[in-house]
Structure 1
Amino acid sequence: MVEYSEDYHAQATATDDTDRWTTESRGQFEVGIPQEFGGTFDGPAPENYYAIALTNCYVATFTVMADNSDFSFQEVNADGTLRLRPDDGSTAVDSFDLTVELQVESPDRKAEVLLERTREHCFILQSVNFPVSVEHEVISG
């Protein structure tokens, strides 16, 4: 896999009179404090973006590895769930579960190998200190 030396910057500014704000990192995104954390914001919380980062790192890694391997596929669909649970009086990330469906013309061993290797090379999934489960299925058609 390719090694990168990159910096990614994000910026956020909030005021004390609202539970929502705008954050920027190669685009603007609205973020806030949802009801489950005592706010009234009805949009994505930082935890949503964390789940997005974990899920999309897998998809990005897979598509790069497939391209580098001259592997054609119709669609990859990843569905991730970040689980928060109480831990010693505070809330902590308990686990992340990812279900991946890969649609191909005709399944072969290369599809399975790429899906397994993607998990090993997805650096964001590798960087966390909580359990990560990745289950995948290859679908022909």
Structure 2
Amino acid sequence: MTSIAEKIGELREQLERLERAQQDFSASTRLVEGLRTEAEIRGFELTVDEPRELGGTDAGPNPVELVLAALGTCQEIVYAVYAPRAGVELEGVEVDVEGTLDPRGFLGVSGEARPGFESVRYSVRIQSPSEPEKVRELVRLVEEHCPVLDIISNPVRTSGSAQLNGSPLA
């Protein structure tokens, strides 16, 4: 069986031979009822909803909670990918993530409150017998290369379109 380090090493070798590499990721979603939605990602189905106090039925996590979970899980994955490169033996990694959001922005009550997070904080707990300086280097590598941390920390070009009954809205 191929180890994570071997698999990532093979992928790195393939990518180093390319001048440019891009991979598209996608999700399809639909509003089901009330505020409950369903997402399909690579054949996985996920129910997304708002908590009762925000008008939902609490049938699943809400989108901003998924962003927090995405950051935590992405960091854990990047720790697993970079640990061999940093010479760190990982026994475990856990991440707690919190975000502060003012719902007045989302609901259009305040023009001063933004609709998204005002701040996001995370705390990483690493279990490892490795030397602290190697673990510090691993932390640096993760913070430098975590895709979700990059996405939420830096502006990303976005574009969108809308259709009404199958026809583009101008």
Smaller-chain TM-score bracket:
0.7 to 0.9
In 2: Cα distance, 1:29 partner to 1:43 partner? 8
Q: CA RMSD in A?
A: 2.3
Q: Does 18-27 or 111-120 show the bigger shift?
A: 18-27
Going by fraction, where is helix more abundant, 1 or 2?
A: 2
% identical aligned pairs: 25
Contact persistence 2:79–2:142 (CA under 8 A): yes
Matched, 1:115 2:139: yes
**Consecutive unaligned residues in structure 1, runs of 5 or more:** 131-141
Q: Residue 91 of structure 1 aligns to a residue in which SS?
A: coil
Q: Counterpart in 1 of 2:40?
A: 24
Structure 1 runs of 4+ aligned residues shifted over 6 Å read none
Q: How many residues matched?
A: 128
Q: Verify the 8 A CA contact 1:55 1:78 in the aligned structure 2.
A: yes
From 39, 57, 66, the equivalent of 2:83 is 66
3-state SS, counterpart of residue 63 of structure 1: helix
Separation of aligned partners in 1, 2:31 and 2:96: 30
**TM-score, structure 1 length as denominator?**
0.77
Alignment partner for residue 52 of structure 2, among 35, 47, 53? 35
User: Which amino acid in 2 is paired with 1:67?
Assistant: P
Higher mean C-alpha displacement, 115-124 vs 82-91:
82-91
Cα deviation, residue 36, structure 1: 3.7
Q: For residues 87-98 of structure 1, what are the structure 2 equivalents within 5 Å?
A: 88-89=112-113, 91-98=115-122
**Structure 2: unaligned runs, 5 residues or longer:** 1-11, 16-20, 106-111, 155-170
Per chain length, whose mean CA-contact separation is higher, i.e. which structure has more relative contact order (CA < 8 Å, sep 6+)? 1
CA pair 73-90 structure 1, distance change in 2 beyond 3 A: closer
Higher strand share: 1
